Amino acid sequence: MNDWIAIGALALVGLLIPLGMMVVSYLLRPSVPETSKRATYESGEIPTGGTRVRFNIQYYMVALLFLVFDIETVFLFPWAVAYLDALESDAVSLLEALGPMLLFVAILLVGLAWAWRNGAVQWAQTPRQVEADSDRQ
Amino acid sequence: MVGSVTTLPLQADDTVLLPERIGDLTGLDAYGVGGELLAAFIAAFIVGNLMLAMTGVAGPWAKRKITAAFTDRIAVTHLGPAGLLIIVADAVRLLSKEIIIPENADRPAYDLAPIVVASSALLGFAVIPMGSGIHLADPEVGLAFVFAVAGIASIGLVMAGYASANKYSMLGGLRAVAQNVAYEIPLVVTGMSVVIFAGSLQMSTIVEAQAQTLVSIGGIDIPAWYALVNPFAFVLFLVANFAEVGRNPFDTPEAPTEIVAGYQTEYSSVYFVLIYLGEFLHIFLGGALIATIFLGGPAGPGPAELGIVWFLIKIWGIFLLTQWLRSAVPRVRIDQLIEIGWKGLLVLSFANLILTAVIVGLIA
């Protein structure tokens, strides 16, 4: 049997279970509308301002960094699968099997070092770091 | 594999997948594609409900009992033996709660988010070999499939955080995605160091590779579980996994003392249940992954039929560990979380991968 049929079947079951629970809940639950019951929760205070707040730019930096490394892992998977077989078949030497991967990872780690140095993965700075930064400029 | 279905033996054989076994036992095989689909659906239903039952035991009962034991209290004693009937009572209670949807909520996304969170976690179990023949599918991309599917949950968390139109939810959703993104790479790269040993992403191959004997001490064969072969990778994976499922000390996205409940602040009634369910399924999926690629999957002493028992013991062991950490360690701040991920675990996981590759290369 095809594996993906079974996986598709579990995807279907995975959808049916939440939907089933939602139906049961719909049949059981009461509805008691009250004034401002549906207001946005802000610890019991009257909500102020919009909720689409500005957020730290660091979230964006980290996401960019992730994209690069995620693609890297995708490229590393085939290498990891083939590595031991390639060595045992004696078709390639250790250097030929390992070298390109090391170079590939090294290039990305240089990128990480650059991002690290520029504070892309640094959420908050201590006063001393702020001082060092202003000295450098 | 197609076409060999009719010749399969009926007895318990770990190489036979659950849909084929069911097709064989019920005679559904004779009905062509329709029978095949139905057998797959029945098998998926069994696996799905097994996981649902485990979550049912873990959420309302085991979690309370364990936390109570760690904090010197007694919990859930009144209903049934050892308070077990609280599971039924809680299911009814939670499902019959009034649902309160914030007036500014972004509707389709707000409703879809809990389903995405719960479904994505459940789908990961499709490729996990649970022993005793409970193994739904065994594609060659097994391990990559689990990582990919588990990653979908991040989208659900962002949807929940953004669509709730609540400042706490927004911050929680952002934190959740930053955290998942930071720890996904160490998790996958550490998992890859196991793939180097096994030479395959297929779950059954990874489990089989761990059945070999590592050393014999006093007549007892110690199996070559990858947790013993490469303990460093095991610890890295364990830590990255706790962050990935958002448990202490990495429960920053929920952080009740800072941002109420993070992305689930505005969720009530069945939606809350679904998000909660998704979180527990993720903990169990993480445990299942650890058991499969580091602890020999369903392997253990005794006959092979006991596989599911050993498998459950292993993933409950990981669950117990998460609850222990919940009671024992403080939470890290968001800036510490990001730094531990990008500066610590990422570098260590690449060091582990390269070291593993070099050592394996020198031995081979």
The confidence band for A1, taking pLDDT boundaries of 50, 70 and 90, is low
Smallest CA-to-CA distance from A58 within B264, B181, B249 is with B181
Q: Which of B346, B362, B364 sits opposite A88 (nearest CB)?
A: B364
Confirm whether B93 is domain-assigned: no
pLDDT at B15: 66
CA distance A137 to chain B (A): 24
pLDDT digit string, tens, across residues A76-107? 888 888 888 888 777 777 777 788 888 988 88
Radius of gyration of chain B (CA): 21
Count of structural domains, chain B? 1
- Residues in A touching B146 (Cβ below 8 Å): none
**Chain-centroid distance, C-alpha B358:** 30
CA distance A86 to chain B (A): 10
Cβ-contact B161, B262 below 8 angstroms: yes
Average pLDDT estimate for B163-189? 87
CA distance A33 to chain B (A): 9
Confirm whether B146 is domain-assigned: yes
Full DSSP string of A56-71 = -THHHHHHHHHHHHHH
Lowest model confidence (mean pLDDT) among B77-81, B123-127, B255-259, B319-323: B255-259
Tell me which fold the domain A3-28+39-126 belongs to: Methane Monooxygenase Hydroxylase; Chain G, domain 1 (1.20.58)
Residue B141 CB coordination number (10 Å): 17
Q: What gap in Å lies between CA B84 and CA B279, rounded to an integer? A: 21
Residue contact B98–A32, C-beta within 8 A: yes
Domain range for B105 is 99-359
pLDDT at B151: 86
One-letter amino acid of A16: L
pLDDT at A114: 86
- Tell me the count of A-B CB pairs closer than 8 A: 235
pLDDT digit string, tens, across residues A22-50? 999 999 888 888 888 888 887 777 777 77
pLDDT higher than 60, residue B9: no
Collapsed DSSP state (helix, strand, coil) of residue B215: strand
Best mutation target among B350, B353, B356, B358 (most A Cβ atoms within 10 Å) is: B350
The b-or-e profile of A33-59 (16+ CB within 10 A means b, else e) is: eeeeeeebbbeeeebeeebeeeeeebb
Residue contact A1–B170, C-beta within 8 A: no
Is B36 an interface residue toward A (CB < 8 Å)?
yes
Confirm whether B154 is domain-assigned: yes
Residue contact B102–A19, C-beta within 8 A: no
Confirm whether B242 is domain-assigned: yes
- Residues in B touching A43 (Cβ below 8 Å): 260
pLDDT higher than 50, residue B4: no
| Residue in chain B nearest A30 by alpha carbon | B98
Q: Which of B52, B188, B199 sits opposite A17 (nearest CB)?
A: B52
- Residues in B touching A82 (Cβ below 8 Å): 199
Confirm whether B126 is domain-assigned: yes
pLDDT higher than 80, residue B27: no
Is B344 an interface residue toward A (CB < 8 Å)?
no
Between these two residues, A16 and B217, which has the higher pLDDT value? A16
Confirm whether B125 is domain-assigned: yes
The confidence band for B136, taking pLDDT boundaries of 50, 70 and 90, is confident
Confirm whether B64 is domain-assigned: no
Domain boundaries, chain A: 3-28+39-126
Residue contact B100–A37, C-beta within 8 A: yes
Percent of chain B whose predicted confidence (pLDDT) is above 90: 8
Report B:73-112 residues touching A (Cβ under 8 A).
92, 95-104
